[in-house]
Amino acid sequence: MTEASARLERLCIDTIRALAIDMVQNANSGHPGLPLGAAPVGYLLFARTLKHNPANPRWPDRDRFVLSAGHGSALLYSLLHLTGYDLPLDELKRFRQWGSETPGHPEFGDTPGVEVTTGPLGQGLAASVGMAIAERHLAARFNRPRHAVVDHRTYVLAGDGDLMEGVAHEAASLAGHLRLGRLVCFYDSNHISLAGATALAFTDDVKRVFEGYGWHVQSVQDGNDLAALARATDAAKAAADRPSLVVIRSEIGYASPKQGTFGVHGSPLGVEQVKATKRALGYPSEEPFFLPEQAVTCLRGAVSRGKAAEADWRSRFEAYKRDHPDLAAEFERVMRGELPAGWDADIPAFSASDKPIATRAAGGRVESAIAARVPELVGGSADLNPSTDTAIKGAGDFESPEFSPPDRQGAVGGEWSYAGRNLHYGVREHAMAAISSGLALHAGVIPFAATFFTFSDYMRPAIRLAALMRLHVVYVFTHDSIGLGEDGPTHQPVEQAAALRAIPRLTVIRPADANETAGAWRVAMTHRDGPVALVLTRQALPVLAVKGDVAHGGYVLADGEGRPDVLLIATGSEVSLALEARAILAERGLRARVVSLPSWSLFDAQPREYRDSVLPPDVLARVAIEAGVPLGWERYVGPAGAVVGIENRFGASAPLKVVMEHYGFTAANVAQRAIEVVEGLAARLAALGLRKA
């Protein structure tokens, strides 16, 4: 490298830095520390390493880049703008402002080139493992001799905070086990985090930890040493049998007066310090948003290189198409996220004369029927395959083909390779959820993730992000209530349904029987505005004569002639109970309507006319029945209604029937509560002189 080109590279890096700190200063908000320290690796990635096309950020075979340290968003926006993505300088000037394409932390869908929403530390690194899994899986499925149409890498930039988070370690451990050689993580090790020196709380030997996980680990002593960074990158790419970690010793807030201090992590430098930083860098101007032409031209070189890279891939894809037309069409279909024709043709219908069946078991049968026709459905559980009934039989285990364990108990069977569709997450729920997001973000697969409903708590931060990103992920939660019995309160969810329903854009469905479970899976496959959580029972439930559509969220399951005296509204296993209570009420001369309400959010999205037809506004006597906290049910039962729920206590360890009885989930109790509501309402109306007592 000539001295002139080295100087130009330095200018490019300083331009990235200057632009990032100008954004933060202009917004008077944001994080200047990481961009100043990590600009060289950012430059190396975007200008030299990444196979990307700024003109088409959705090109299927692009390398993925994940900024796991999402607070460094100014660095990412600076890189995207300067390398020619459709992110104008004006948007950078609107950093962190209402409606801009440059939100405080990177948000998937808001900004061209942002592959994943990050900010909650650890999530990006974990999601990147999902992207790397998707790449290997699709490569195994679609590549053919002489035709490598899926052939890219996933690069991550992570900080100290990411590496302190548990989810990152769950994911890193799995990535090592799976030998994901296409995953390269740069660790910006600046020894500083938000509140001080990392030494206050974090003195791990990261190198040994990651080596222990089966990663290839290198160190770069000086984050400004581009040659060393480039060598390490090459070595990381060459280590094809393991994921790679490159530990980069960098200086937070490099060149600023606050370099190396936690004060530069997350506060604007101030106008004078911004100028001082530019002077220290030897930057050609102190003018805000000044961009040296030479540097811009150099960085924009990514555009022509990117176009050429994509064109090369497209011509290779044409050749693939000629040799393998069906596979090519299939690849294009899965990448579009379109279901195959007839995907639902084998979904079983259950009959009311069938034996009672747990919705987890029905879910397993439905999932199998779908999986046989939808090869892009992939997923697994956190060591609960036998309990959640989610293994795709015969579809193979997703494992490194080189890995030959001494014991394969519990393997699903079929191919043992990256073509396998069953992911064994081990007991790593949080990473499972984050990895599922990465799988969905990559595109080409529809991921599902299964565990016990209580342990959805372990997944919640990643579920929330999946909902924020509107990802197509299916969560299968079994053992959905105190109805699981003997395992007791640690395993019995009580507040989880309410907690998950509170997440915007997450569709929670708690089906009442096998047929509703089939309907729930239909929604899970077709819903395109966020993830879907299926909440299923361990215990057997009678098969009902279901007349409604789960996609409507709720419907009238049982009704009589004329206006009902009382509405019994229930979800899941409590729907059968409502039906039994209805029979008791009929003996007492009361007409009860049973409404099955498997999904609040789907129901709430229906036109008012439909909702009113199911829950007539003039019927004020209403009882909701759900084996969970009553929180939220008031919106359906109103001020005169009641909830048969579980309030202010946990479950208990005992056989199912005993627990259910102690908690009031009996037809007799539900009927009694309904009578109380009807009588209470009548008394109040009478007191108001509106009706005879």
Ligand X SMILES: Cc1ncc(C[n+]2csc(CCOP(=O)(O)OP(=O)(O)O)c2C)c(N)n1
- Minimum gap (Å) between residue 441 Cβ and ligand X: 19
**Piece of the chain touching ligand X by CB under 6 A; list 186-194, 315-323, 487-495, 594-602:** 186-194
Q: Is 69 in the site for ligand X (CB under 6 A)?
A: yes
245 in Cβ contact with 218 (< 8 Å):
yes
Task: State which residue, 61 or 160, has the beta carbon closest to Mg ion.
Answer: 160
d(CA 309, CA 43): 18
DSSP strand pairing (532-535 vs 507-509): parallel
656 binds, among Mg ion, ligand X, none (CB under 5 to 8 A by kind): none
Strands (E), 590-658: 592-596, 622-625, 642-644
332 flagged as catalytic? no
**161 lies in the site for ligand X, by CB under 6 A:** yes
Q: How far is the CB of 252 from ligand X (least distance, A)?
A: 5
Q: For ligand X, which is the closer residue by CB, 61 or 162?
A: 162
Alpha-carbon dihedral angle through residues 139, 143, 148, 154, given to the nearest 10 degrees: -10
224 binds, among ligand X, Mg ion, none (CB under 5 to 8 A by kind): none
Rounded CA-CA distance 411/401 in Å is 14
Name the burial class of residue 237, with classes exposed (0-12), middle (13-18) and buried (19+) by CB atoms within 10 angstroms of its CB: middle
Q: Which residues pair with 534 in a beta bridge?
A: 476, 509
Q: How far is CA 403 from CA 190, 407, 458, in A?
A: 35, 11, 29
Judge whether 174 and 354 are in contact, CB under 8 Å: no
How far, in Å, CA of 455 to CA of 477, rounded? 9
Cβ 427 to ligand X shortest distance, Å:
21
Interface with ligand X includes 119 (CB under 6 A)?
yes
Angle 271-281/3-27 helices, nearest 10 degrees?
Answer: 180
Q: Which partner from the list Mg ion, ligand X, none does 380 bind, CB cut-off 5 to 8 Å by kind?
A: none
Minimum CB separation of residue 160 from ligand X in Å reads: 3
Cα dist. 578→182, 571, 623, 670 in Å? 53, 9, 9, 7
Please report whether residue 121 would count as binding ligand X according to CB under 6 A.
yes
Going by their DSSP bridges, the two strands 216-220 and 196-197 should be labelled as: unpaired
Stretch that binds Mg ion, among 54-62, 152-160, 285-293, 612-620 (CB under 5 A): 152-160
Site for Mg ion contains 223 (CB under 5 A): no
Specify the residue, 192 or 508, whose C-beta has the smaller distance to ligand X.
192
Side-by-side strand order, sheet with 183-189: 64-67, 154-159, 183-189, 244-249, 216-220
Structure tokens that stand for 624 in this block: 């909701």
Q: Does 68 bind Mg ion (CB under 5 A)?
A: no
Nearest residue (CB) to Mg ion, 194 versus 683? 194
Minimum CB separation of residue 161 from Mg ion in Å reads: 7
Find which of ligand X, Mg ion, none residue 378 binds, CB within 5 to 8 Å per kind. Answer: none
Instruction: Provide the minimum distance between the beta carbon of 159 and Mg ion in the complex, in angstroms, as a whole number.
Output: 5
Q: Does 157 bind ligand X (CB under 6 A)?
A: no
Q: How far is the CB of 71 from Mg ion (least distance, A)?
A: 10
Closest distance to Mg ion from the beta carbon of 278 (Å): 23
Nearer to Mg ion, 214 or 253 (CB): 253
Binding-residue total with ligand X (CB under 6 A): 17
For ligand X, which residue of 39, 220, 232, 252 counts as binding (CB under 6 A)?
252
Between 266 and 542, CB nearer to Mg ion = 266
Q: Which one of 191-199, 512-520, 525-533, 607-615 is the stretch in contact with ligand X (CB under 6 A)?
A: 191-199
Q: Does 194 bind ligand X (CB under 6 A)?
A: yes
Q: Six-digit token pair at 410?
A: 């519990």
Stretch that binds ligand X, among 114-122, 462-470, 599-607, 635-643 (CB under 6 A): 114-122
Q: What does 265 interact with, of ligand X, Mg ion, none (CB < 5 to 8 A by kind)? A: ligand X
- Mask of contacts with ligand X, 618-657, x by CB under 6 A? ----------------------------------------
CA separation, residue 335 to residues 109, 135, 374 (Å) = 17, 12, 13
Distance from chain centroid for Cα 605 = 22
Q: Name the residue among 445, 62, 147 with its Cα closest to residue 325.
A: 147
Backbone φ, ψ for residue 352 (5° rounding): -60, -15
Is there binding between residue 124 and ligand X (CB under 6 A)?
no
Q: Does 243 bind ligand X (CB under 6 A)?
A: no
The distance from CA 429 to its chain's CA centroid, rounded to whole angstroms, is 12
15-54 footprint of ligand X as x/- string (CB under 6 A): ------------------xx--------------------
Q: Which residue lies nearer to ligand X by CB, 33 or 641?
A: 33
Choice among 429, 516, 574, 626 that is catalytic: 429
Q: Min. distance of Cβ 160 from Mg ion in angstroms? A: 4
121 binds, options ligand X, Mg ion, none, Cβ within 5 to 8 A by partner type: ligand X
Site stretch for Mg ion (CB under 5 A), options 22-30, 77-85, 153-161, 546-554: 153-161
53 or 193: CB nearest Mg ion: 193
Q: Extract the tokens encoding 157.
A: 């930039």
Closest C-alpha to 66, from 18, 105, 23, 33: 105
Of 249 and 321, CB closest to ligand X: 249
Q: Coil, helix or strand for 541?
A: strand
- Tell me the residue number closest to ligand X, measured at CB: 159
Binding to Mg ion, residues 154-193 (CB under 5 A):
159-160, 190, 192-193
Q: Which of 190, 244, 277, 576 binds ligand X (CB under 6 A)?
A: 190
> Applying CB under 6 A, which of residues 11, 192, 309, 433 lies at the interface with ligand X?
192
Among positions 162-181, residues that touch ligand X (CB under 6 A) are: 162
Stretch that binds ligand X, among 116-124, 238-246, 618-626, 639-647 (CB under 6 A): 116-124
3 state DSSP class of 356: coil
**340-371: b or e for each residue (b if 16 or more CB lie within 10 Å)?**
eeebbeebeebeeeeeebbbbbbbbbbbbbbb
**Considering just the CA atoms, what is the radius of gyration of the chain in Å?**
28
In angstroms, what is the minimal distance from the CB of 252 to Mg ion?
Answer: 6
- Identity of the residue, 194 or 235, whose beta carbon is nearer to ligand X in the bound complex: 194
Tally Cβ neighbours within 10 Å of residue 566.
Answer: 24
User: CA-CA distance, 633 to 615, in Å (whole number)?
Assistant: 13
Pick out residues in 255-314 that bind ligand X (CB under 6 A): 265
d(CA 149, CA 130): 19
| Count of beta carbons in the 10 Å neighbourhood of residue 317 | 18
Q: Evaluate whether 60 touches 337 at the Cβ level (below 8 Å).
A: no
Q: Is 565 helix (H, G, I), strand (E, B) or coil?
A: coil
The smaller minimum CB distance to Mg ion, of residues 266 and 638, is found at: 266
> Which two three-digit tokens encode residue 210?
């990651």
Nearest to 105 by CA among 119, 92, 116, 115: 119
Q: Which amino acid is at 10?
A: R
What CA–CA distance (Å, rounded) separates 160 from 247? 10
DSSP-assigned letter for residue 540:
E
Mask of contacts with ligand X, 491-530, x by CB under 6 A?
A: ----------------------------------------
Catalytic positions, written as ranges? 429
* Binding stretches for Mg ion (CB under 5 A): 159-160, 190, 192-193
* Binding stretches for ligand X (CB under 6 A): 33-34, 69, 71, 119-121, 159-162, 190, 192-194, 252, 265
